[in-house]
Chain A
Amino acid sequence: MMTPYESTFTLGEVTEAEPCCVPVPHLVVRDLSVAYAERHVLEKVSLDIYRGCITALIGPSGCGKTSFLASLNRLTDLIPTARVDGSILYEGQDILSQSVDTLGLRRSIGMIFQKPNPFPLSIRRNLELPLREHGHRNRRILDEKIERALTDVGLWEEVKDRLDSTALALSGGQQQRLCIARALVLDPDILLMDEPCSALDPISSSVVEELIIRLRSRYTVVIVTHNLAQAKRIANYAAFFWMKEQVGKLIEFGQCQRLFEAPIHGLTAAYVSGAKG
C-alpha cells in the first residue's frame, strides 16, 4: 500500500502556482489524529503546509477536514470532548503541547469560518477589539491598522463613511471580507479558511476568491473547500481526505495540478473526476 503522505516532488513541477516556488514547510503535521469523545474522526494524518502557498483540503463532508483545520490553531480546545494526538510543528514548537500560549498562537494563525461571523458591533469595533485585546491602545496606530486591513480586503472604499455603523448591515460577501480583515489586522502568518465562499452568492464568492489569491504571496493559506473547481483555480497544493472505516484519512497530498490531472490513488481519481463523493 502506498503511503498517504507524498513527499517526493520536484520543483520543476510547479508551473501554475507562480508565487509559490520554494516549498518551505510552515507547518509540519505528523500523525495527527482527532477524536470527539470515543468517536475518531481523523486518523494519522501527516503532511506539510508550505509557506506562502495555498493548500486546499478537499474531500466529502464528514471526513475530518474541518477538524484538521481546527487543530492547526487549537480551536479544538473549545470542544471539551475533543482529543488531538500527534504533532504539529510551527516555528520549532509543537502547537499541540500543553505549554503553548494558545492566545498568541491564534493571533499568528488566524481563522475564517464558513458563515461570516462579524461581531454584532460596529465595523470599526470589529477590527479594534482584537487589536485592543493584543495590547494596541494608540488611537493613531489602531486607525492605521484598521484602514490597512480594510484596504487589503478591498472594503475600505465601500465602508469608510460608515465605520461606526453595525457590521451586521453589510452584505454576506462584505461580512466575509470584514472577517478576513479582522484576521489580517493582527498580522498573522497563516490563515485557515473553512469553506469561506460556500455561504456566499456567486458574485461575492468570486470577489472573496480573488481576495484569497491576492493574499497568497503574503500569507500561508490552508483552505477547506467543497468546490473542486475553486481548489483547482486557487490552490498550489491539495490534500484529499476520505472516510475509510468510519474514520477520516488523508488519501493523497501533492501539488494541486498534479493531484487533479494525474492522481496517484484510485480514490482521488474517482473523486476529482466526479465519479465518487
Chain B
Amino acid sequence: MAERLFTSVIWLSTALVVAMLLWILGDLAYQGMPHLSLNFLLSEPMSAGRSGGIGPILVSTLLIIAVTLLSALPLGLAAAIWLAEFTNRGSAVGNGVRLCLDVLAGIPSIVFGLFGNAFFSIFLGLGFSILSGGLTLACMILPVFIRTCEIGVSSVNDAWRKGAAALGMTRSAAVWHILLPAASPAIVAGLILGIGRATAETAALIFTSGYVDRMPGSLLDSGRALAVHIYDLSMNVTGGDPAAHASALVLLVLIMLLNLLAQGLSDRWLQRRLSV
C-alpha cells in the first residue's frame, strides 16, 4: 500500500512538472507561431515593437552572448583549473575563493546589473553598451561556471595525473592534454547552464546594455536583448503581446540552438584531442 502510494506520488510529481513545461511551450507555440515569419526575424521593430520584427534585437542578443562567453570561458576555465589543480586540498585560500563563488552564485541578477552599471558603464566609461552588458553577464555566470568546471576537473581520475607526472610531463601539459578533455562533459554542462542564464537575463541588462532597439553599430552601442524586449512588450506596450509571444518562442529556440552548438563544438574538439 505504502509502496503504491510512493510510486504514484513520484509519477504524479513528474507528470505535473512535465505538464507545466509542455503547457508553457504549447502556449508559446500556439500564440507565437502566427506572428512568426522570416520577416519578423529580420526586420526592425516598429511602433514600439507592436509591429515590425526583432532583427536588431536578435543581433544585439547574439553580440551580448558572444561577449559573455568569450570573456567568461577563458577566465572561468583558468580559475577552475587553479582551484582544482593548484590549491591544496583544504587550503584556506582555496576554500575562501570557493565560499565567495558560492555566495556570488546566489546573488540576484539585479545586483549584478547595478554592479555592472557602476563598474563597467560608469567607472570604466563603457556607458550603456553591448560590451557593458556582456561583461556584466559574464560576472553573473562565472561563479556557477567556475564551480561546475572545478568539480569536473578535480573528479578526473587521479591515475592520469600520476601517469602524466611519471612520464615527466609538466602540469600545464597534463591539464591541457588530459584533464581538460576528460573534464569536457562537465565544462559543457557548465557552459550550457551559463548560456541559458545569460540569454534569458533581463534585470542585469536593463542597467548595462540598455534598451535601444536600433541595430547596434559596434560593441559600444546600446543594444536591446531579447529578454528585455519581451519584458518591455508585455509590461509597457499595450497590444504588444503577440510580438512578445513570438519573441519568447525565438528566445527558446535560440537557447536550444546555442546548447546544441556548445555540445557539438566540444564533441569536435574532443574528437580532435582523441586522435591526431
* Residues in chain A within 8 A of chain B (CB atoms): 73, 75, 77-78, 80, 102-107, 110-111, 113, 115, 117-122, 124-125, 128-130, 133-134, 164, 166, 179, 182-183, 186
Decide if the interface of chain B is mainly helix, strand, loop or mixed. Answer: helix
Residues on the B chain within 8 Å of A102, using CB? 168
Do A166 and B274 form a contact, CB below 8 Å, given A117-B157, A117-B163? yes
Q: Mark B192-228, 1 if CB is under 8 A from A, else 0.
A: 0000000000000000000000000000000000000
Interface contacts (Cβ under 8 Å), in number, total 83
- In order of increasing CB-CB distance, the 3 nearest A-B pairs are A117-B159, A106-B168, A111-B166
Residues on the A chain within 8 Å of B162, using CB? 75, 78, 113, 117
B2 within 8 A of A: no
CB distance from B160 to the nearest CB of A (A): 6
Q: Mark B147-177, 1 if CB is under 8 A from A, else 0.
A: 0000000000101111111111110010001
Please, how many angstroms separate the alpha-carbon atoms of A119 and B177 in the complex? 9
A-B contact pairs, 7 of them (CB 8 A): A75-B166, A78-B162, A119-B178, A121-B181, A121-B273, A129-B169, A134-B168
Closest to A112 in B: B166
Residues on the A chain within 8 Å of B88, using CB? 80
CB distance from B172 to the nearest CB of A (A): 10
> Other than the known A119-B178, A133-B167, A183-B166, what 5 A-B pairs have Cβ atoms closer than 8 Å?
A119-B177, A122-B274, A124-B275, A125-B275, A128-B276
Residues on the B chain within 8 Å of A133, using CB? 167-170, 173
* A120 and B166 form a contact (CB under 8 A): no
Please, how many angstroms separate the alpha-carbon atoms of A121 and B179 in the complex? 11
Which residues B236-276 have CB closer than 8 A to chain A?
273-276
Q: How many residues of B are counted as interface, with CB atoms below 8 angstroms from the partner's CB atoms?
A: 23
* A105 and B166 form a contact (CB under 8 A): no
Please, how many angstroms separate the alpha-carbon atoms of A187 and B164 in the complex? 16
* B274 and A121 form a contact (CB under 8 A): yes
* B167 and A182 form a contact (CB under 8 A): yes
Closest to B178 in A: A119
CB distance from B155 to the nearest CB of A (A): 13
Residues on the B chain within 8 Å of A106, using CB? 165-168
* Residues in chain B within 8 A of chain A (CB atoms): 88, 157, 159-170, 173, 177-178, 181-182, 273-276
CB distance from B129 to the nearest CB of A (A): 42
Which residue of A121, A125, A130, A166 contacts B167 across the interface (Cβ within 8 Å)? A130
Do A103 and B276 form a contact, CB below 8 Å, given A117-B159, A119-B163? no
Residues on the A chain within 8 Å of B177, using CB? 119, 121, 129
Which residue of A75, A80, A107, A119 contacts B160 across the interface (Cβ within 8 Å)? A119
* B168 and A104 form a contact (CB under 8 A): yes
Closest to B89 in A: A80
* A103 and B168 form a contact (CB under 8 A): yes
Residues on the B chain within 8 Å of A111, using CB? 166
CB distance from A161 to the nearest CB of B (A): 15
Residues on the B chain within 8 Å of A117, using CB? 157, 159-160, 162-163
CB distance from A185 to the nearest CB of B (A): 9
Closest to A103 in B: B168
CB distance from A184 to the nearest CB of B (A): 11
CB distance from A122 to the nearest CB of B (A): 5
* B165 and A78 form a contact (CB under 8 A): yes
Q: Which of A80, A113, A121: most chain B Cβ within 10 A?
A: A121
Please, how many angstroms separate the alpha-carbon atoms of A118 and B160 in the complex? 7
Do A183 and B167 form a contact, CB below 8 Å, given A120-B182, A122-B275, A166-B274? yes
* B169 and A130 form a contact (CB under 8 A): yes
* A113 and B159 form a contact (CB under 8 A): yes
* B167 and A107 form a contact (CB under 8 A): yes
Closest to B156 in A: A120
Please, how many angstroms separate the alpha-carbon atoms of A93 and B178 in the complex? 32
